[in-house]
Amino acid sequence: MKIINLFLIVTTLVFVSCLNDNKVIYPYNTRVENLRDNIKNGTIDLFEAFMEAQVELRNHPGADSEMFLTYVTDLMNEELKKLYESGKFEEACVMADSLVVANVTDLAYPIELCYNRFLDSTIQTKDKFTISELRNRMVEKKISGVFDAYSILNEYYEEKSSGLFIYYISKYAQIFPDLLSKYPDLLKKKAELEQYRNLDFEKMMKSVVTVYLDKGMAIKNGMGFQEKSIGTGFFIDDKGYILTNHHVIADHVDPKYKGFTKVTVALRDDPDTEISAKVIGYDKVHDVALLKVETHSKEHLVLGRSHNMRTGDKIYTIGNPIGLRYTVTSGIISNKEINFFQMGRAFQVDAAINPGNSGGPLIDESGQVIGIVFAGVPQFQGISFAIPFEWVRQSIPLLYRGNQVERSWIGAGVYEDRDKKELSFYYIMPGSGADKSGLQLDDILVSINDQKVTTLEDAQTEIAFNRSPSIIKVEIIRNGITMVLPVKTDARPYIPIEKAFMKDKQANLVSLVFGLRMSLMSKMLGARSYKVERIYKGLTAYTLDISEGDPVMIYGIKYIEKDKMILMQIRYLDKDVAAMERMFTLQISAEINTLL
């Protein structure tokens, strides 16, 4: 009896002591305790801890899991306070956004205050593109009001950027229904810009530069020569910043290249003088690089948007084909659906483009940049392509940060069903943010961070340009029921498929890469037999003569890192010849464009 009383006294003292310290005692749970240790040790960040808490709550619902989730969000709120008070306002905004997604209402500092302080600090230290992106984001979140939206539109009007003005007036009018009634002059300005044309090529050429990559002296057949490649670039502001293609200066930023390199540019007014240029940032995914020269340009091109360009629209290019400086060519957009990139699609154009043109502007009839041309695709000799400026413009603030552009992802494959006009998840990578959020195959994707997404490019845009790590809001429909899930973003690898090959099994990789969902029937030496469950229209497997329910034999799927290619050997019955089997080796680029 004395022992029991002593135990009760000790327990009471511990409980009172904890109350005095304003701490909560969490009931013992091995997994939760391990997670708490990992947080204290810094083994996992708070965003990862939040997702683990979600997993715990989903798998073990109850008071223990709920209190652990509260513990994690309290830590996140404390971190928000530290970030804000130490002047790290951008990081504070990321944490505040994540807490809002986590349904935390009592923030240490209001999200509006975080963003306004971030904007104040950005105006003093950052480039105009980063400032513009932030101001647009604040309007979309309704942190800024209708007058701010009006001010941004007026700036686009003054720049004569019809693409940006027309895009954002439509978007802002949906956010603020009274925008056009409060500011009726916007409709007049819209009509004016729709008719605006400014194709003064002589003036535009002053904004275009020749880009050189000097690799020093090389020896071939016993003779020395200067190894120097040429490309094109163009000024995007009056402070000496230039856009060009990454491949034009690739060896200069490639850590594997050990030789001499130097990047220089020559201006239109003095084509024989080369000015040293510094590579600020580069984007291997969309083949873009940002250069900086100390010479400031009085002229820079008007940057627009490519979202409203149509097949058949007239376009122009300015460049240095095969060293012929400042050549203007014209043509039309021949195709908008070229799958060259991991995100988004390329334009095919019929304007003459040759080596030396790479990095030059693609210009529409209003005189604004709607793309960057690139040349030299070996398998498409005689065909010209351009990077839509939609993707380039969103990358510019990331380029200004320096070094290689990093984007975000959640580790999922999304299928765009063009017949149903809907997006659905057809692959979830084990251990990814998508996996830990509870997303499942066949979930229909509706919106990301309250932005409706109807195309794969929409979804990739909403996720790729978020900061990582962070927590985003993903709205889905599952079996007819609408659900909202918090999902963690991570830094996207340059070749995301490499991560999937490290983490997943054969059948799931075949589904992701080739669009062939299967269930295992049997295993044998060197091969596996599967039953086809679904074939995704538009993906590679759809071209094969197989149907749902058919048996197939897979002899292996392999990633060739050197060539960035994926190979798969498959055997199946020939439907035209009884008892005859077909065997194929399918080959596809590792840069598949369905990953989110």
What residues act catalytically? Answer: 247, 287, 358
Nearest CA-CA partner of 591 in 559, 565, 558, 555:
565
Looking up tokens 């720049």 gives 159
Looking up tokens 């010479």 gives 295
Beta-strand relationship, 208-220 and 262-267: antiparallel
Q: How many residues does the chain have?
A: 596
Residue 549 carries which side chain, given as an amino acid letter? Answer: G
Phi, psi torsion values for 580, nearest 5 degrees: -90, 140
Q: Which helix (H) or strand (E) holds 506?
A: helix 506-514
Contacts of 420 (CB under 8 A, 6+ apart): none
Beta-strand relationship, 278-283 and 403-404: parallel
467: its two tokens: 């900061």
Cα–chain-centroid distance for residue 312? Answer: 28
Q: Are 371 and 450 in contact (CB under 8 A)?
A: no
Helix 111-125 crosses helix 128-140 at what angle (to 10 degrees)? Answer: 160
CA distance 46 to 325: 54
Cis link prior to 361 (omega < 30° from 0)? no
Looking up tokens 């686009």 gives 156
Beta-strand relationship, 262-267 and 412-417: unpaired
DSSP state of 25: P
Q: Are 35 and 49 in contact (CB under 8 A)?
A: yes
Q: Where are the alpha helices (DSSP H) in 378-484?
A: 389-401, 433-437, 456-464
Q: Is 223 helix (H, G, I), strand (E, B) or coil?
A: strand
CA distance 422 to 504: 26
Alpha-carbon dihedral sign for residues 77, 80, 85, 86: positive
Radius of gyration of the chain (CA): 28
Looking up tokens 């030059």 gives 360
Q: Is 115 helix (H, G, I), strand (E, B) or coil?
A: helix
Q: Where are the alpha helices (DSSP H) in 314-429?
A: 389-401
Nearest CA-CA partner of 569 in 581, 587, 555, 559:
555
Class of residue 423 by CB neighbours under 10 A (exposed 0-12, middle 13-18, buried 19+) = buried
Q: Are 354 and 308 in contact (CB under 8 A)?
A: no
* CA-angle at 126, arms to 403 and 596, nearest 5°: 50
CA distance 157 to 139: 18
Q: How many Cα neighbours within 13 Å face the side chain of 224?
A: 3
Nearest CA-CA partner of 281 in 402, 454, 168, 139:
402
- Residue 318, beta-bridge partner list: 328
